[in-house]
Amino acid sequence: MIAEAQKNGNWIFLQNCHLAVSWMLSMEEIIKSFSEPDIVIHENFRLFLSSMPTSVFPVTVLQNSVKVTNEPPKGLRANVRRAFTEISGTFFEEHILGRKWRKIIFGVCFFHAIIQERKKFGPLGWNIRYEFNDSDRECALLNLNLYCQTGHIPWDALIYITGEITYGGRVTDAWDQRCLRTILKRFFSPETLKEEYKYSASGIYFAPESDSLSDFNSYIENLPIIDDPEIFGMHENANLAFQRQETVTLINTILEVQPRSSAAAGGKSNDEVVHELADSILNKIPEKLNMDDAAETLFVRDSNGRVNSLTTVLGQEVDRFNFLLRVLRTSLCTLQKAIAGLVVMSEEMERIYNSFLNNQVPEHWASAAYPSLKPLGSWVRDLALRSAFIESWITRGQPKSFWISGFFFPQGFLTGTLQNHARKYNLPIDELNFRFNVIPAYRDQAVITEALKNLGQGAELDQDQKLPSIEDGVLVHGMFMDSSRWDDVNMVMEDALPRVMNPMLPVVQFEPQQNYVPDPSLYHAPLYKTSARAGTLSTTGHSTNFVVTVMLPSNRPNDYWISKASALLCQLNE
């Protein structure tokens, strides 16, 4: 087709080049041949190519072409306005359903704008950044038209098709699917057709009671330019999260492009800075964790001669930490030798060197470690705290409350807890689930660790006096709340306070129960290792980021918290 068009001057449009990866090389060769002197090209010939953002598109083709990008407009007003410029007056105004039809159309367009704009909030919007585009909206409107031709609205079918197929087909995360269904309810359901229905509490956003396309366009033009988080069902703190994310992106970009210059007179050179930092890290982390020093109480056997499952979990954690500590020590010693000129500065060492200058955790370390978004300084302190927690468990025996953030693999710890309960009461482990009881007591791991260092074992005992004795399960601390807070008076979830991003959740009892059916009013809060939320499925069958669903009491409907993306985190970014 391209060869023919070159001769007769036709136009060729190759759509979705990102789907034809294997042909990209051939296409690159064809386009390179255009510049050869013996090739005759008709003056009217044009070649158009379309593609989603992809790394496989040939760079030389991009460099030699006129580029046009088509991105969704920023802001709800611009997004809905764009949708309505593509809707014809006949399609919008002349329908058997009349005003109901116009409200439904407006609701779908507004829903589309909402789910696109939620992306700006990062993980608070969606765990994974989905590329919803105009074709999704067009498809949803065509389905509407197809199913509503008789004047009857089959809500169940339409909600399923729109939420699970048209839009839900893109969504790969189960928590995002839950969020999508909840948002759809607010804009696309029988309630939205009522006369006084508003899309948000402020009453600014609603479907106009009008019959003409021009009236709807006028209403859209008068919508606020800056969107308040409440229309997304989110807390005002979500804007802070968005602005912080923009700032981090900007700073990282500046760091990547800044030139590396030598130190001014009197200042330390880069080599000296990195060497001192390596010394500092080596002093803060332990040589290794040693199970040979373990307290005898850890190895007490039950009536069937079985060792406590949590002791097995401890052994596995020690192995993981020792591997990470070995990686750190080896690379730091090699880096210091490379700076001194005793060994060759390899590419890997150079990457670690540059990471130190940027206060970033080297990739070589991150790949051997637990998930974390902390900068280098906080990451090293966090590692020292985790090592101290494990060392305290080894030498002093099982703690009264476990720091869930201190584990490499918290899912293993939870499984060990269930296994202990199954053995104790002779129950099948696959019938056990956790019930969560919040206890009004707080523990800060950093404070506990410092107290242990300074005051010895008595400090731990003082901390433990505040905690009740429990028969079954374990006490867990160290969880942070995202987009909510804990009300100590009423013992329920409550709205976050302004500018307080991640308050701590009190100690929680994870109590195993056989065939436990939670109360429907409890909010299912996912617990994540980091605030990135998105994870991948690892070889163990567990997500690399999601840990467990914690069920918490609340005085509000579950949809309220789902729209806010309320969750729990094991660790913060700082």
| Averaged pLDDT for residues 470-488 | 94
| Averaged pLDDT for residues 172-188 | 94
pTM given for the model:
0.87
547 in Cβ contact with 411 (< 8 Å) = yes
Give the closest residue to 450 by CA, choosing from 442, 458, 459. 459
Task: Reply yes or no on whether the pLDDT at 102 is more than 60.
Answer: yes
H/E/C letters for each residue in 31-98? HHHCCCCCCCCCCCCEEEECCCCCCCCCHHHHHCCCCCCCCCCCCHHHHHHHHHHCCCHHHHHCCCCC
Q: Please tell me the distance from the alpha carbon of residue 402 to that of residue 448, in angstroms, as a whole number.
A: 12
More confident residue, 38 or 124: 124
pLDDT band at 207 (very low <50, low <70, confident <90, very high): very high
pLDDT (tens digit per residue) in 356-387: 988 899 999 999 999 999 999 999 999 999 99
More confident residue, 261 or 422: 422
pLDDT (tens digit per residue) in 296-323: 888 888 888 889 999 999 999 999 999 9
Task: Reply yes or no on whether the pLDDT at 524 is more than 80.
Answer: yes
Instruction: Enumerate residues 6+ apart whose C-beta is below 8 A from 144.
Output: 104, 105, 108, 158
525 in Cβ contact with 178 (< 8 Å) = no
Mean pLDDT rounded to a whole number for the chain? 90
Q: Distance of alpha carbon 73 from its chain centroid, rounded?
A: 23
| Averaged pLDDT for residues 223-237 | 91
227 in Cβ contact with 74 (< 8 Å) = no
> Cα-flanking dihedrals φ and ψ of residue 524, to 5°?
-85, 100
pLDDT band at 293 (very low <50, low <70, confident <90, very high): confident
User: How much is the pLDDT for 8?
Assistant: 93
Among 67-76, 448-457, 474-483, name the one with the lowest average pLDDT. Answer: 448-457
Q: Please tell me the distance from the alpha carbon of residue 124 to that of residue 533, in angstroms, as a whole number.
A: 9
User: How much is the pLDDT for 84?
Assistant: 94
User: How much is the pLDDT for 542?
Assistant: 66
Task: Reply yes or no on whether the pLDDT at 144 is more than 70.
Answer: yes
338 in Cβ contact with 349 (< 8 Å) = yes
User: How much is the pLDDT for 469?
Assistant: 84
Task: Reply yes or no on whether the pLDDT at 278 is more than 90.
Answer: yes
Q: Please tell me the distance from the alpha carbon of residue 548 to that of residue 550, in angstroms, as a whole number.
A: 6
Tokens found for residue 520: 């429907």
| Averaged pLDDT for residues 192-196 | 91
Q: Please tell me the distance from the alpha carbon of residue 514 to that of residue 243, in angstroms, as a whole number.
A: 45
pLDDT (tens digit per residue) in 4-17: 999 999 999 999 99
User: How much is the pLDDT for 128?
Assistant: 92
125 in Cβ contact with 173 (< 8 Å) = no
What are the beta bridge partners of residue 431?
none
Task: Reply yes or no on whether the pLDDT at 460 is more than 80.
Answer: no
Task: Reply yes or no on whether the pLDDT at 456 is more than 70.
Answer: no
